[in-house]
Amino acid sequence: MSVLLTSLLVFQVVLALLLVGIILLQQGKGATAGAGFGAGASATVFGSQGSSSFLTRTTAILAALFLSNSLFLAYLYGGTTRQGSLLDQISVQVPAEQSAVDASSPVIPD
């Protein structure tokens, strides 16, 4: 099970880096305004529309994969946690000198 979790976690990091890279490659909405005045957008590799539809579609696919992988990782990690409070899991060690003190007498810190 740990191999599955490790591989999904590595896949999550790769997806996050790809998603950031694809988003940074995209142009803003105002960047295409120059195409109407002959800025050369029709001479791109992806055609006159540019790479916007390809990058938008790739972003949507990567985002869906990232979300589904996040939910699956949360489901898997949620099944491996213990039930109860975190305070219930902590064992407190009481020093010997304090354990000998009567419970009715007040404890004054030094």
Angle value at C-alpha 72, between 66 and 74, nearest 5 degrees = 100
What confidence tens digit (pLDDT) does each residue in 23-52 have?
Answer: 998 877 665 555 556 555 554 555 655 556
Give percent above pLDDT 90 in the chain. 35
Over residues 78-96, the mean pLDDT reads 66
Q: In this structure, is residue 98 part of a structural domain?
A: no
Q: In this structure, is residue 104 part of a structural domain?
A: no
What is the C-alpha separation between 98 and 106, in angstroms, rounded?
Answer: 11
Q: In this structure, is residue 36 part of a structural domain?
A: no
Q: In this structure, is residue 5 part of a structural domain?
A: yes
pTM given for the model = 0.56
At 32 the pLDDT is 56
Between these two residues, 76 and 18, which has the higher pLDDT value?
18
Over residues 59-70, the mean pLDDT reads 96
Q: In this structure, is residue 3 part of a structural domain?
A: yes
Per DSSP, the residues of the chain read -HHHHHHHHHHHHHHHHHHHHHHHHSPPGGGGGGGGGT-SGGGSTT-TTTTHHHHHHHHHHHHHHHHHHHHHHHHHHHHHSPSS-HHHHPPPPPPHHHHTS-TTSPP---
At 90 the pLDDT is 73
At 73 the pLDDT is 93
Evaluate the CA torsion angle 39, 44, 48, 54 in order and state its sign: negative
Structural domains in the chain (count): 1
Q: In this structure, is residue 4 part of a structural domain?
A: yes
Q: In this structure, is residue 53 part of a structural domain?
A: yes
At 59 the pLDDT is 94
Looking at the predicted structure, is the pLDDT value of residue 1 above 70?
A: no
Q: In this structure, is residue 94 part of a structural domain?
A: no
Structural domain including 69 reads: 1-26+46-79
Between these two residues, 104 and 3, which has the higher pLDDT value?
3
